[in-house]
Homo-oligomer: A and B are copies of this chain.
Amino acid sequence: MTQALSAGASTPAFDRADPRAVRRAIRAGAFTDFTNHVARDFMQGNLVAVPAAYAEDFEAYCRANAQALPILGRSEPGVRAIPALADDLDIARDTGGYMVFRDGELVETPRDASAVWADDLVAFVLGCSFSFEAILQRAGVRLRHLDEGNVSAMYETARETTPVGPFGGKLIVSMRVLSPADAIRATLLSARYPQFHGAPVSLGLPGDLGIADLSHSYGGHGLTTLNPGELPVFWACGATGQNAVRNARLPLCITHHKAHMVVTDLPLPKD
């Protein structure tokens, strides 16, 4: 696999298809890449950890905006294990990068969050489009951003999410460039997986979501250029949760960083 070769030159050998091996390599600092090319038969998730006092409101916010924020798992307050996702998971160490927000400001981006993890944090793991990307590729849909070793671009839209308590803000979407036939196939396939954002929310016309310029992605990364014969297709994105907790200016909040996702042992649906 060219992807494994290009990413792995300086990384000790481990089984990149095995989620437990990937987590172990991340925890040991031996794997520091984005996770969209590893453990592809297993679900990955967004991480949002909030103080216990905000956990019920955040869960209600997720359920009110379930297309963006499908809940795969939730920890007990102060507990770093989420056995429903993986029996050896340490949510403060097994993600390849973290963002730490205090009062809504990003204060650090550690590789390991155990030093800043607080006793009352509740971690939420939210479904991620990396999971449906694997399903789309298996079905023969061409995802050019992956072929080019990139990630999908994200955008802040003009659409408001349904607010709950202190949580609200704009819907964030991920975008993939697809041929019309693949846009149709990707729509039909992704609709079957509400746990990974379901069907697209828009396609074809960035202005429909209030996106003025595809070249200005949220976070500044990802494939943003259309080739002739390609359409932009937009899915609700878990980054909507990061955006909401940042807007809420919580005293402390920890999320994953960029495309370093929580790698679980939950197998993707086979069909």
- Give A residues with C-beta under 8 Å from B: 179-181, 183-184, 187-188, 191, 199-205, 207-208, 228-229, 231
Once bound together, how far apart are the Cα atoms of A233 and B86, in whole Å? Answer: 43
Once bound together, how far apart are the Cα atoms of A65 and B184, in whole Å? Answer: 19
Q: Are the C-beta atoms of A205 and B188 separated by less than 8 Å? A: no
Given that A188-B188, A191-B188 are contacting pairs, would A183 and B207 also be in contact in the complex, using a CB cutoff of 8 Å? no
Q: Are the C-beta atoms of A204 and B201 separated by less than 8 Å? A: no
Once bound together, how far apart are the Cα atoms of A199 and B205, in whole Å? Answer: 20
- How far is the CB of A194 from the nearest CB of chain B, in Å? 13
Q: Are the C-beta atoms of A204 and B183 separated by less than 8 Å? A: yes
Given that A187-B187, A188-B187, A191-B188 are contacting pairs, would A179 and B208 also be in contact in the complex, using a CB cutoff of 8 Å? yes
- How far is the CB of A129 from the nearest CB of chain B, in Å? 16
Once bound together, how far apart are the Cα atoms of A258 and B9, in whole Å? Answer: 64
Once bound together, how far apart are the Cα atoms of A187 and B231, in whole Å? Answer: 15
Q: Are the C-beta atoms of B188 and A200 separated by less than 8 Å? A: no
**Residues of B contacting A188 with CB < 8 Å?**
187-188, 191, 199
Q: Are the C-beta atoms of B204 and A231 separated by less than 8 Å? A: yes
- How far is the CB of A143 from the nearest CB of chain B, in Å? 17
Given that A207-B229, A229-B208 are contacting pairs, would A202 and B187 also be in contact in the complex, using a CB cutoff of 8 Å? no
**Residues of B contacting A187 with CB < 8 Å?**
184, 187-188
Q: Which residue from B184, B199, B202, B204 sits with its C-beta under 8 Å from A199?
A: B184
Give the nearest-CB partner of A204 in chain B. Answer: B204
- How far is the CB of A208 from the nearest CB of chain B, in Å? 5
**Residues of B contacting A228 with CB < 8 Å?**
207
Query: Please, could you name 18 A-B residue pairs with CB atoms under 8 Å apart, sorted by A?
Result: A179-B208, A180-B203, A181-B201, A181-B202, A181-B208, A183-B203, A184-B187, A184-B201, A184-B202, A188-B188, A188-B191, A188-B199, A203-B231, A204-B231, A205-B229, A205-B231, A207-B228, A208-B229
Give the nearest-CB partner of A203 in chain B. Answer: B180
Q: Are the C-beta atoms of B184 and A203 separated by less than 8 Å? A: yes
Which of A179, A184, A191, A231 has the most B CB atoms < 10 Å from its CB?
A184
Give the nearest-CB partner of A202 in chain B. Answer: B180
Q: Are the C-beta atoms of B180 and A208 separated by less than 8 Å? A: yes
Give the nearest-CB partner of A179 in chain B. Answer: B208
Which of A180, A201, A229 has the most B CB atoms < 10 Å from its CB?
A180
**Residues of B contacting A179 with CB < 8 Å?**
208
Known: A203-B231, A207-B229. 4 other contacts (CB 8 A): A184-B201, A204-B204, A205-B231, A207-B228
Q: Are the C-beta atoms of A180 and B204 separated by less than 8 Å? A: yes
